Chains A and B, each alone.
Chain A
Amino acid sequence: MSPELKGFILLSILKMLVVFTVVLVGVALLTLMERKVSAWMQNRRGPNRVGWAGLLQPAADGLKNIVKEETFPAVANTGLFLLAPAMAFIPALLLSGVIPWAAPLPISVDDFGEAIHAGLTSLYLEPTGRFISWLFHLVFGPVSFHGVLSGAVADLPVGFLFILAVSSLGVYGIALAGWSSNSKYALLGGLRSSAQMVSYEVAMGVSLIPVLLLSGNVSFSEIINRQQAGTWYIFPLFLSFFLYFVSGFAETNRLPFDLPEAESELIAGYHTEYSAMKFSMFFIAEYSNVVTVSAVASALFFGGWDVPFISVDPAHPGLLGTVNLGLLFTLLSALVMFVKTMTFIFVVMWIRWTLPRFRYDQLMALGWKVMLPMALGYVMIISTAIYVIEHGLGIESARTQSWILFGLNLILAYGVFGLLDRGRIVSGSNSRTRVPGPGPVAGARRVA
């Protein structure tokens, strides 16, 4: 194995460890954040007994879930019952591997052992450095890396499509959990979930097409580079973001779209029969889906790791004018990405504790009769607009194009929020059975 390949593999493993540790610990902390946010919104304090301000609450919960009894319903299909949590858990975590969490880092190191030695020596830890570098050489031999290290674990050229494909796998876990439990509540939850997630998958995919039209690429890093050159896509594609975010709620089964769980009607929906760590895995899957949706929203519409008001050269992201920030800039960009993602996660929680659940027919009507036609119409309008701007008006500058599209979006947004949204987006059930003319008194029971 060549030293260069070894370097790539080692750095990738390092990235995996960092990303998955941060995501898993972050997900645990998100459960605390959810409880805190809900408490604050209800004038309560939230968990504050375990550790400072309740910070150790997730650890206590995790410990409890590990030592609790694993229950198996007698009539459950044991194989699928065991498989389902993994089917929900794995795709959810897989997604965090392709999102660029930080700016790419140009690395040019001839020998990592030597680099560790030099680095620790400069920190006045010469003997330790010599030992670690000796150990490193002993285990890995010569390792080198020359090139740009991507901020994602795997910077797939089809990253965006990968996200859409793998996120829809999560529905298998939920549907299987619902079916294999052999419980009516779980089955209803699983059925609702499969119908809901399949419906909103369509709207979600279509709502993101304008992003691809504008960037001309499906790779996350390229989409972010294009946003740096022009503007963040939230401006030219505001409605696209809106549609994506709404279907994101439905995809992650969060309120107001939490029909698969629906505590008040289905006990806990698809995971009614699950206990201990298997239940916990569904929970982790749900929260890491929230993280993914938020991270994708910030990557596609808010420039990902792009630090506002700083323009960088995609080939050398750390180079600001003549100052080379290097690793520091990568860390700064990771922080920016973190803040953006957390903002969306907060909005997701905020909405959860604001809105009640949809009725099932409202959910389906919203998905198929409102979101999908709106997304399709938006794709048509935007693609026409981009064609006219580029070829009809001959405007080349990405920035000018964006602002023209922003103007168009303002008009469309007025159309959606001002004209369309008048009792039509979410309607009462009588919208299906409207009686023409002066029908019977409202409230009277109509017989079909």
Chain B
Amino acid sequence: MAIGVKVMKRPETEVSYIRATLKGMRLTFKHMFQPKVTMQYPEEKSTGDERGTYTISPRWRGTHRMMADEQGRSKCVACGLCPQICPANCIKLVPGEDEEGNRYPLIYEIDEFRCVFCGYCQEVCPEEAIHVGVHYENAEYNRGRFVYDLERLTAQTHPVSSLWDPTDARGE
């Protein structure tokens, strides 16, 4: 029968149930008139910068974006570092070489389903070509669409992750 429950020794005025109830009711009533915090999602969206009411961190790591040079070609030189470092093995890269000896990717595909969004590919890239994006709306109508090819990666326009805080690069 006996269950040892620790009971705090409180002054008697503090253990009045009815007074505590009224106190709680006052609190909940006050909350009814406080500003609402709900984001009305499809109308309001989080932004990667400080503009909007709702922000997401600039260090957010979302779906990838391939940077392009002035001619609109991808900056990738097919060095092979990103598939090498990728822990999820989600990057498929087939390097090619043009007449002038410049390396470029023949095939560059990222399977976003396998990706763990660690951001190592951006970190390791010597050309600052592949980036993880500050972006979170990824819905598609079929699974195949989640393998992003080079064309699609280059066409992305969303902001890219800064991966670390530029003012505190060493995480201090």
Which residues of A line the B interface, CB within 8 A?
A: 37, 40-45, 350-351, 353-355, 417, 421-423, 425-426, 428-430, 432-433, 442-448
Q: Contact: A44 with B4, CB < 8 Å? A: no
The 5 A-B residue pairs with the shortest CB-CB distance, nearest first, are A423-B15, A443-B6, A40-B32, A433-B2, A445-B4
CA distance A429 to B6 in the complex (A): 9
Which of B9, B38, B40: most chain A CB closer than 10 A? B38
Given contacts A425-B17, A428-B5, A447-B2, contact A44 B36 (CB under 8 A): yes
Interface of A: prevailing SS:
loop
- Closest approach, in angstroms, between the C-beta of B151 and any C-beta of chain A? 37
> For the complex, is B28 an interface residue (Cβ under 8 Å from A)?
yes
Contact with A along B145-163 (1 / 0, CB 8 A): 0000000000000000000
B 1-36 contacts with A by CB, 8 A: 1-7, 9-10, 12-13, 15-19, 21, 24-25, 27-29, 31-36
Contact count band on B: 20 to 34
In the complex, the answer to whether A353 meets B4 with C-beta atoms within 8 Å is: no
Dominant SS at the B interface? loop
Cβ-defined contact, B25 with A448, below 8 A: no
Interface residues of B (CB under 8 A from A): 1-7, 9-10, 12-13, 15-19, 21, 24-25, 27-29, 31-38, 40
Q: Which residues of B contact A350 (CB under 8 A)?
A: 25, 28-29
Q: Is B34's CB under 8 angstroms from A43's CB?
A: yes
Q: Is the CB of B24 within 8 A of A355?
A: yes
List the B residue with the shortest CB-CB distance to A416: B18
| Whole-angstrom CA separation of A447 from B3 in the bound complex | 8
Tell me the complex Cα distance, A425–B4, Å.
Answer: 20
Interface contact B25-A351, CB-CB below 8 Å: yes
Q: Are A422 and B16 in contact (CB under 8 A)?
A: yes
Q: Tell me how far the C-beta of A447 lies from the nearest C-beta in chain B, rounded to whole angstroms.
A: 7
CB atoms of A429 and B5 under 8 A apart: yes
Chain B's closest residue to A435 (CB) is B2
Contacts of A37 in B (CB 8 A): 32
Check B12–A423 contact: CB distance below 8 A.
yes
| Minimum Cβ distance to chain B for residue A433 (Å) | 4
CA of A355 to CA of B33, assembled, Å:
19
Q: Which residues of A contact B4 (CB under 8 A)?
A: 430, 443-446
CB of B16 within 8 A of CB of A45, answer: no
Apart from the given pairs A41-B28, A42-B31, A442-B9, 9 other A-B contacts in the complex at a CB distance below 8 Å: A40-B33, A43-B31, A45-B40, A354-B25, A423-B10, A429-B3, A433-B2, A442-B7, A443-B4
The answer to whether residues A417 and B35 also contact, given A350-B25, A354-B24 and a CB cut-off of 8 A, is no
Q: Which has the most chain B C-beta neighbours within 10 Å: A43, A44, A353, A425?
A: A43
Cβ-closest chain B residue relative to A362: B17
Name which residue of chain A comes closest to B23, CB basis.
A354
Chain B nearest CB, measured from A32 CB (Å):
16
- State the CA gap A353–B32 with chains docked (Å): 11
